[in-house]
């Protein structure tokens, strides 16, 4: 064990954020702290770091272990360049190298015992220098900076001139280079593009230390962590596994709690009915029995009804009219700014019912494309045609569609004057704005609150073509899952920009990858895109030049062919899951039979032994066929 929290309590006024929170993290373990916005995740990290005192309880860190922390927001003031700022982490190596150079000079002048002393000292310093990877400090810094999305041209930028997101990346780079025994990261992926997030995943998975992460990025958590520490209404519970494992176990626990509550409620109603009936007999004996049952009910430890999963925020998206089949046609789209050309000659189409994710590195022009389609900024060249009966609903990550001077209530009532006060309040309550909250000014809201207002307006718009720019920014995991479900139920068309790979995986039917100022089309979700891109990149390597025509041909498959391939792939995957499920079911039953046959009351019963033996033979025969089927499916999928 490298870190433990024991019975941590923390309250702000009447609000109890943490209640007897206890958990531990092992050496080299990768753990995530999750919970809804405001659950106390960042508070917990600050308590661990000693930046915030706990009301009671203690944090224990193993003796001699170092700890590093990346907060969500960095107020870094430095006149250093980006490279120089990361170099400060390596100051001890630079100092050691300077002492080694001095020792080399001294050895040239020394002799006798003094020379031997210098040689021994130099040997020790050389060993330490090598242990600290001293010969590679420059390439190590360069690798981290490039991994976090900085180009070599940016290495010389002064830290004071950087944006908040860039400063956070610099702070993250310094933390990773310092290599503490325990790393605490609060939303580390917020300011990273997909390539940088993938690099960070690999870095953390291979990191020779413990890592504790607060993040809403479920794809990231699935790849990196092996333990989930959940904060729910102040209670802390630990789940082994990644995010998907946690979600499955959580659903099972919730179902079990709900069933226990339902069973208890049924028992209470039954007892109340019996008591009423006994009293109706109006006999002394019956009344005593009724009173006895009443006392039993009073002593019962009544369970609280479990809260419904995802019951707080409610999103219902439904188009008012059905659009034509051709929703959007873009031809020859180009855009450049004085400092750079973003893209040129882009062609793409979107059909009714598609959910298309537009992805690419930061700065490639994804948001610009959405703004051009919505008429917010002009294109330099190209044609954009909307299909018949297409009505756009636009979600802007910067929330320019909101009026900062208005209250939340006015924002809705001014755009939808036909709604009465009750209807407006009902809509806002579905997005967690109740009571006097509805009179807050838009300008005073947090990013997450503004996002919820924008989603409320989107729901009311009844548009049939939703254009969404980073819709999951500032949403907690539960809210993201609600939005995913709403979009998957939506019968209209969706074009969205997102760096949330889990969200893309759950919602997208097609991906447009904007890179090198061009678009590449992939029919499928994010996992399919990753797999296909790796295939194409492998084909394009110099060692595989002969395969280029095949790769080009494959890349040019029209959408229908790719859809057919995807359908075939999904069928094979589903067949494999069903086969594995049946194998597991039969193997479990086979073990149960073996256990039964070891029991005396069974193996002494000839009829029962005969029956179980026949069942076992039948299982073995079916398993034999299923094993062959599984191997065949694996071959077809490989």
> Taking 80 as the threshold, does the pLDDT of residue 631 lie above it?
no
Q: How much of the chain exceeds pLDDT 70, in percent?
A: 93
> Taking 60 as the threshold, does the pLDDT of residue 638 lie above it?
no
Range ranked top by mean pLDDT from 273-277, 325-329, 599-603:
325-329
Across 132-153, average pLDDT? 89
168 class by beta-carbon count within 10 Å (0-12 exposed, 13-18 middle, 19+ buried): buried
Strand, helix or coil at 262?
helix
Global pTM exceeds 0.85: no
Q: Are 109 and 137 in contact (CB under 8 A)?
A: no
162 class by beta-carbon count within 10 Å (0-12 exposed, 13-18 middle, 19+ buried): buried
Other C-beta atoms within 10 Å of 382: how many?
Answer: 17
Q: Are 484 and 513 in contact (CB under 8 A)?
A: no
Residue 31 pairs with which residues in a beta bridge? 212, 227
> Taking 70 as the threshold, does the pLDDT of residue 635 lie above it?
no
- Report the C-alpha gap between 226 and 240 in whole angstroms: 6
- pLDDT tens profile 524-556: 999 999 888 888 777 655 544 444 444 444 444
Across 457-475, average pLDDT? 88
Give residue 558's pLDDT. 53
- Report the C-alpha gap between 601 and 369 in whole angstroms: 74
Q: Are 61 and 182 in contact (CB under 8 A)?
A: yes
- Report the C-alpha gap between 197 and 213 in whole angstroms: 13
Range ranked top by mean pLDDT from 27-31, 300-304, 415-419:
27-31
Range of weakest confidence among 109-118, 339-348, 411-420, 573-582: 573-582
Cβ-Cβ contacts under 8 Å for 557 (sequence gap 6 or more): 565
Across 252-272, average pLDDT? 88
The closest of 68, 21, 66 to 43, measured between CA atoms, is 21
Give residue 550's pLDDT. 45
Give residue 307's pLDDT. 64
> Taking 90 as the threshold, does the pLDDT of residue 575 lie above it?
no
Give residue 637's pLDDT. 64
Range ranked top by mean pLDDT from 2-11, 331-340, 585-594:
2-11
> Taking 80 as the threshold, does the pLDDT of residue 170 lie above it?
yes
Strand, helix or coil at 382?
strand
Q: Are 479 and 309 in contact (CB under 8 A)?
A: no
Cβ-Cβ contacts under 8 Å for 9 (sequence gap 6 or more): 16, 18, 19, 20, 21, 54, 55, 56, 57
Across 214-242, average pLDDT? 93
Q: Which sign does the torsion angle of CA 400, 405, 409, 411 carry?
A: negative
Phi, psi for 306 (deg, rounded to 5): -60, 140
| Residue 433 pLDDT class (50, 70, 90 cuts) | confident
53 class by beta-carbon count within 10 Å (0-12 exposed, 13-18 middle, 19+ buried): exposed
Give residue 634's pLDDT. 63
Cβ-Cβ contacts under 8 Å for 565 (sequence gap 6 or more): 557
- Report the C-alpha gap between 350 and 334 in whole angstroms: 18
Give residue 555's pLDDT. 42
335-340 long-range contacts, CB within 8 A, separation 24+: 335/365, 335/368, 335/369, 335/372, 335/379, 335/380, 336/380
Q: Count of alpha carbons within 13 Å of 380, Cβ hemisphere only?
A: 13
């Amino acid at each position: 064990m490298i870190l433990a929290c024991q019975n941590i309590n923390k309250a702000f006024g009447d609000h109890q954020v943490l209640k007897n929170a206890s958990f531990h993290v092992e050496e080299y373990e990768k753990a995530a702290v999750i919970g809804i916005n405001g659950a106390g995740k960042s508070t917990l990290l600050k308590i661990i770091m000693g930046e915030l005192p706990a009301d009671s309880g203690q944090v224990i860190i193993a003796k001699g272990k170092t700890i590093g922390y990346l907060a969500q927001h960095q107020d870094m003031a430095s006149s250093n360049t980006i490279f120089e700022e990361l170099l400060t982490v390596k100051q001890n190596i630079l100092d050691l190298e300077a002492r080694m150079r001095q020792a080399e000079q001294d050895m040239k002048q020394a002799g006798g015992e003094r020379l031997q002393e210098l040689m021994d000292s130099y040997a020790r310093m050389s060993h330490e220098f090598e242990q600290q990877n001293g010969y590679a400090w420059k390439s190590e810094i360069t690798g981290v900076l490039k991994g976090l999305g900085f180009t070599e041209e940016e290495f010389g930028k002064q830290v004071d001139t950087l944006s908040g997101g860039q400063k956070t990346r610099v702070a993250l780079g310094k933390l990773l280079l310092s290599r503490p025994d325990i790393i605490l990261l609060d939303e580390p992926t917020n300011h990273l593009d997909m390539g940088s997030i993938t690099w960070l995943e690999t870095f953390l998975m291979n990191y020779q230390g413990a890592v504790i992460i607060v993040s809403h990025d479920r794809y990231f958590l699935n790849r990196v962590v092996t333990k989930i520490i959940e904060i729910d209404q102040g209670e802390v519970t630990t789940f082994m596994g990644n995010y998907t494992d946690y979600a499955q176990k959580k659903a099972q626990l919730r179902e079990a709690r709900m069933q226990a509550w339902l069973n208890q409620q049924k028992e209470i109603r039954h007892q109340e009915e019996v008591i009423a009936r006994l009293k109706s007999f109006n006999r002394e004996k019956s009344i005593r029995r009724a009173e006895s049952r009443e006392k039993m009910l009073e002593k019962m430890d009544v369970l609280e009804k479990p809260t419904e999963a995802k019951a707080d925020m409610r999103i219902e998206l439904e188009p008012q009219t059905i659009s034509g089949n051709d929703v959007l046609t873009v031809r020859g789209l180009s855009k450049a700014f004085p400092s750079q050309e973003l893209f040129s000659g882009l062609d793409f189409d979107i059909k009714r019912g598609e959910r298309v994710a537009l992805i690419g590195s930061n700065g490639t022009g994804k948001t610009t494309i959405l703004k051009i389609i919505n008429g917010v900024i002009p294109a330099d060249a190209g044609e954009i045609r909307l299909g018949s009966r297409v009505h756009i609903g636009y979600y802007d990550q910067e929330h320019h569609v909101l009026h900062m001077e208005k209250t939340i209530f006015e924002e809705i009532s001014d755009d939808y004057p036909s709604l009465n006060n009750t209807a407006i309040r009902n809509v806002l309550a579905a997005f967690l704005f109740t009571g006097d909250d509805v009179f807050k000014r838009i300008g005073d809201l947090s990013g997450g609150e503004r996002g919820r207002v924008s989603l409320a307006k989107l729901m009311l718009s009844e548009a049939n073509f939703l254009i969404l720019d980073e819709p999951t920014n500032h949403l907690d995991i539960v809210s993201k899952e609600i939005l995913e479900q709403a979009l998957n139920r939506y019968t209209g068309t969706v074009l969205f920009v997102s760096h949330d790979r889990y969200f893309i995986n759950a919602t997208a039917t097609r991906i447009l990858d904007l890179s090198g100022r061009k678009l590449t089309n992939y029919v499928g979700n994010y996992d399919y895109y990753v797999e296909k891109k790796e295939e194409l990149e492998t084909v394009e390597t110099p060692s595989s030049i002969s395969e280029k025509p095949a790769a080009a041909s494959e890349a040019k498959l029209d959408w229908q062919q790719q859809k057919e391939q995807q359908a075939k792939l999904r069928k094979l995957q589903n067949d494999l899951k069903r086969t594995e499920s049946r194998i597991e079911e039969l193997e479990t039953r086979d073990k149960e039979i073996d256990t039964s046959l070891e029991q005396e009351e069974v193996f002494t019963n000839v009829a029962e032994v005969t029956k179980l033996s026949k069942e076992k033979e039948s299982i073995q025969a079916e398993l034999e066929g299923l094993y062959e089927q599984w191997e065949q499916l694996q071959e077809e999928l490989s």
